Structure 1
């Protein structure tokens, strides 16, 4: 199950100070995954073809998104070089996308 303590473990956080921010990132990441895959994200076994369960790969994609948003809170970063990590979020979700 993808809950706040598990996400905080992924982020390596012990403090409760930013729980509200992290909870917002979790919900935003779930919404992003649902939109990306064009399916409703459900925490139980999917009953309909347009539903998708929280399988380990989907949970990992959500964790990666939350981690990225937590580390990069601003829309613009100056003075750095960044690279997309290959086989990250998109690769975890590519086969779930409906065409």
Structure 2
């Protein structure tokens, strides 16, 4: 089942509802991540390290919602290598 799902995500578009849920999760978590000085400092550091620009947080919502199912599929096909995965099962003997 797990191998099937991994293979499926490399060949099929992500469901629109699933994509919308993930986008809402990412944008909803942002204010929580900025609720502390540590979170703010971490965000500023990431913006600097990844050269995102000082206006990154102003555009974050639009950037996240501009990602399409086709973008996800292209990224998965580029970065994932399901044939290289190894399955490991652990539990009581």
Q: Higher strand share goes to which structure?
A: 1
Please say whether Structure 1 and Structure 2 have the same fold, judged by a TM-score greater than 0.5.
Answer: no
Q: Shorter-chain-normalised TM-score: which range? A: under 0.3
Larger Rg: 2
Taking structure 2 as the reference length, the TM-score comes to: 0.27
Q: Higher helix share goes to which structure?
A: 2
Taking structure 1 as the reference length, the TM-score comes to: 0.26
Which structure ranks higher in relative contact order (CA pairs < 8 Å, sequence separation ≥ 6)?
Answer: 2
